[in-house]
Homo-oligomer: A and B are copies of this chain.
Amino acid sequence: MFSGAQISLYPMSDDFVDVILKAIEALEPYRPFFRIETDDVSTLIVGPPDQLFPAMRDLFVSAARSGKHCVLSATVSRGCPGEPDDPICTPMTASGNDLPLVERIAEARNAVTRAETSGQIVAAQFSLYPLGEGHHMDEIYGCVDFLKSSGVFNRSKNFCTKLRGDAGPVFATLSEAFLRFGAPQGHVALDLTVSANSRTAA
């Protein structure tokens, strides 16, 4: 299954270029598994679906450690029918999302519990878009059940859901929502914003 993300990093700082270049070093361990292409608006990463959120977590935590107000914005996708299947993208069967919904919710919660903490508090908001046929509202409601019991649920907002907590469990929660819900081979897109070091964080 073709999976990847268009990601952008925004440090609200005069030295944003230095913050970005230093943060990108955190992607080094992922380079053997990803195709990476950059232009003036975003960086494309294409690779195994279960590695997308760990890579974004490490990139963002590295930038946030500058102490500057930083935001990561990403368009994440799996199973897009208009994209060629890429040999570096592994199948989704490893995520076990052919299991009954109640078991997937339990497994998603367990995965978040096992996530290592990073010491970096973040706010995240995202929208999950199950596209095409083969998706059911049961999947969405199951995902919402999982989010509310994830330990990092903040609140529901118009058009999106907001999380807050340590970057470790927050990115683990995002990854579980992306991987375990929606049709296993279906097209799922996720629109993500993560913020750290905001002066106005509530």
Task: Assess the A75–B16 pair: CB atoms within 8 A.
Answer: no
User: Residue among A5, A44, A46, A129 with the most chain B CB within 10 A?
Assistant: A129
- Tell whether A41 is near chain B: CB-to-CB under 8 Å: yes
Task: Assess the B160–A75 pair: CB atoms within 8 A.
Answer: yes
- Distance in Å: Cβ of A157 to nearest Cβ of chain B: 7
Task: Assess the B129–A189 pair: CB atoms within 8 A.
Answer: yes
* Docked complex: A53-83 residues within 8 A CB-CB of B: 69, 71, 73, 75, 77, 80, 83
Contacts of A13 in B (CB 8 A): 12-14
Task: Assess the B4–A201 pair: CB atoms within 8 A.
Answer: no
Contacts of A69 in B (CB 8 A): 16
* Distance in angstroms between the alpha carbons of A85 and B202 in the assembled complex: 28
Interface residue range, chain A: 35 or more
- Tell whether A30 is near chain B: CB-to-CB under 8 Å: no
- Tell whether A195 is near chain B: CB-to-CB under 8 Å: yes
Contacts of A159 in B (CB 8 A): 4-6, 44, 75, 77, 80, 83, 189
For A29-65 the 0/1 string (1 means CB < 8 A from B) is: 0000000000111101010000000000000000000
For A104-131 the 0/1 string (1 means CB < 8 A from B) is: 0000000000000000000101010111
List 21 contacting pairs A-B, 8 Å CB cutoff, sorted by A: A5-B159, A8-B71, A8-B73, A8-B193, A12-B13, A12-B14, A12-B16, A13-B13, A13-B14, A39-B162, A39-B202, A40-B200, A41-B162, A41-B193, A42-B125, A42-B193, A77-B158, A80-B158, A127-B191, A129-B131, A191-B191
Chain A: residues with CB nearer than 8 A to chain B? 4-6, 8, 10-14, 16-17, 39-42, 44, 46, 69, 71, 73, 75, 77, 80, 83, 123, 125, 127, 129-131, 157-160, 162, 189, 191, 193, 195, 198-202
